[in-house]
Amino acid sequence: VTSHPLRVVIVGSGVLLPDDAHRSSGHWVSAEGGPAGEAPFRMLLDCGSGTLHGMARDALPWAELDHVVLSHFHTDHMGDLVPVLWALRWGIDGGRTRPLHLVGPEGLGMRLRGLADGFGSWLLEPGFPLHAHEVPAGGRWRNEDAGVDLVAHAARHTPEALAWRVEARGTRVGYTGDTGPLPALGAFFRGVELLVAECAVPDDQAMEIHLSPHELAPMAEAAAPTLLVTVHHYPQLDRAALPDLLRAAGYSGRVAVGHDGLALAVGPSAVRHLSGSPED
């Protein structure tokens, strides 16, 4: 049994603005088979534009992808869903039999049908089993075979927006999706080893539906992750200053400013950098 069973790669650390070095939101979480016979899994948390090509850039086995988990229905979080399905349908030598689980907020099925209206019915019957699972805020979805649980908490962004906790192999990863300040998320993420959190805007541009450093700091301090990774930075936020801003605002734990390609090995009580710059 490895001491760091989960692999997490920040595929897209950016926002909607075109920036090849900071693509839209997409975060890879994977594990090999578990000690109790659990199957391997390869998961994306969000699937914004740039995620498909970003997985290739980061040498991730995109053809093996079997879970896509959406936080909400903004294009910077799901814009590459159709390209990913297209690549899985047509881009794999010999075709694909592995099922794909799409997990997201209520309204996911309706949106898939709308995408199929636009791009063709292949999208709902791509030649491999495609399962859509709508999870309400406060709900939970489990893949028994892979030994992975997804726990949803309402986020403060859009009516459907969810924050997610991924639990597998005795290890927990938290992901805020997009959210404004919401103290309940500190408790929801309490004890996660890795917290991937949006920090979109500078403090002087704080808003209801995104986090600034002063708003993220108390939530992260309450969550007390082994490592905090910040993502979803708008250009006006000074990335280099972010660790100091978070500390000044009361966060006392470890922090790394997320960038595309940042790869981490995550275990029950430790997070190790695999590639990308070391944490600040």
Instruction: Kindly list the residues in this chain that would bind Zn ion in the complex (CB under 5 A).
Output: 74, 76, 178
User: Which residue number, 209 or 224, has a Cβ lying nearer to Zn ion?
Assistant: 209
Nearer to Zn ion (CB atom), residue 76 or residue 193: 76
Give how far the C-alpha of residue 76 lies from the chain's centroid of Cα atoms, to the nearest Å.
12
| 58 versus 198: smaller Cβ distance to Zn ion | 198
CB of 132 to Zn ion, least distance (A): 20
- The rounded distance, in Å, linking the Cα atoms of 265 and 271 is 6
48 vs 243 by CB, closer to Zn ion: 48
Q: How far is the CB of 233 from Zn ion (least distance, A)?
A: 11
In the complex, what is the shortest distance from the CB of residue 155 to Zn ion, in angstroms, rounded to a whole number? Answer: 9
Instruction: Closer to Zn ion by CB, 74 or 172: give it.
Output: 74
Beta bridge partners of 265: 7, 272
Tokens (6 digits) for 43: 């998961």
127: left (phi over 0), alpha (psi -120 to 50) or beta: left
CB of residue 158 to Zn ion, shortest distance in Å = 6
What phi and psi values does residue 180 have, to the nearest 5 degrees? -85, -175
Smallest distance, Zn ion to C-beta of residue 153, A:
16
CB 43 within 8 A of CB 30: yes
How many other C-beta atoms are found inside a 10 Å radius of the C-beta of residue 226?
A: 19
User: Which residue number is nearest to Zn ion in terms of Cβ?
Assistant: 74
Measured CA distances, 139 to 12, 150, 184, 198, 255 (Å): 26, 9, 15, 22, 29
Q: Are 22 and 54 in contact (CB under 8 A)?
A: no
- Residue among 66 and 76 whose Cβ is closer to Zn ion: 76
What is the nearest approach in angstroms of Zn ion to the Cβ of residue 209?
7
**Residue 261, phi then psi, degrees to nearest 5:** 95, -5
